[in-house]
Amino acid sequence: MRVMVFVKAAENVDMDAAPTPEQLEAFAAMDRFTEELVQAGVFIAAAGLKAGAEAKRVVFDGPARTVTDGPFAESRELVVGFSIWEVKDMDEAVAWAKRSPNCMPGRSEVEIRPFYEAEDLAAFMPPEELAAPRDGARGKLGVA
C-alpha cells in the first residue's frame, strides 16, 4: 500500500527564519532516516515545501473561488513537507513514522494517509482499465 506522510509545522515556528544549528542537525538526521527508507525499499518520493509566505489557498464555495495569499495564521496547520512510502500496511507506516526525527523545535506532527489504489476504485472503473498493466503512468483518475 502507498501512503503519503504529511509533515506539519510546529506551533509558533517562523518558517521564514533561517534554520538554527539544531534544525540543521535535525535535517541531517532526516537525510539519514530517508536513506534508511530507501535501503528498506519503502521510499518513493519526498520534498520539503517553501514557507507559507509563498503559499496560496483557493477556497471553493459552489461556483465561487476565493484566493488567499500566505502566510497563514495557524502555523500548526501548515504542511511543510511530504513523503510517499510503499508499506505493507498502516502499522508498518506508523512504525516508520515513529522512527522519524523531529525537524521542528518542540511539538510537531505527521499525518499518514493511504492512497486510493485501483482496487479501491474497482466499482467505478471499467474492467478493461482495471486489467491494464500498471507501469507508473497516471490513469484517468490520477491513480498511478
Instruction: Residue 100: give its domain's CATH number.
Output: 3.30.70.1060
Give long-range contacts, CB 8 A cutoff, 24+ apart: 65-74. 71/15, 71/16
User: Which residues have C-beta within 8 Å of that of residue 92, sequence separation ≥ 6?
Assistant: 42
Range of the domain at 67: 2-131
Residue 141 lies in a domain: no
Residue 18 lies in a domain: yes
Q: pLDDT > 70: what percent of the chain?
A: 82
pTM exceeds cut of 0.85: no
Residue 139 lies in a domain: no
18 falls in which pLDDT band (50, 70, 90)? Answer: confident
Q: Which amino acid is at 61?
A: D
pLDDT tens digits, one per residue of 81-130: 899 999 999 999 999 999 998 887 778 889 999 998 878 887 887 777 76
Residue 140 lies in a domain: no
| Average pLDDT along the chain | 83
Q: Is the pLDDT of residue 26 over 90?
A: no
pLDDT of residue 140: 43
Domains: count for the chain: 1
Q: pLDDT > 90: what percent of the chain?
A: 44
Residue 35 lies in a domain: yes
| Percent composition of the chain: helix, strand, coil (DSSP 3-state, to 5) | 35, 25, 40
Residue 120 lies in a domain: yes
Residue 137 lies in a domain: no
Residue 142 lies in a domain: no
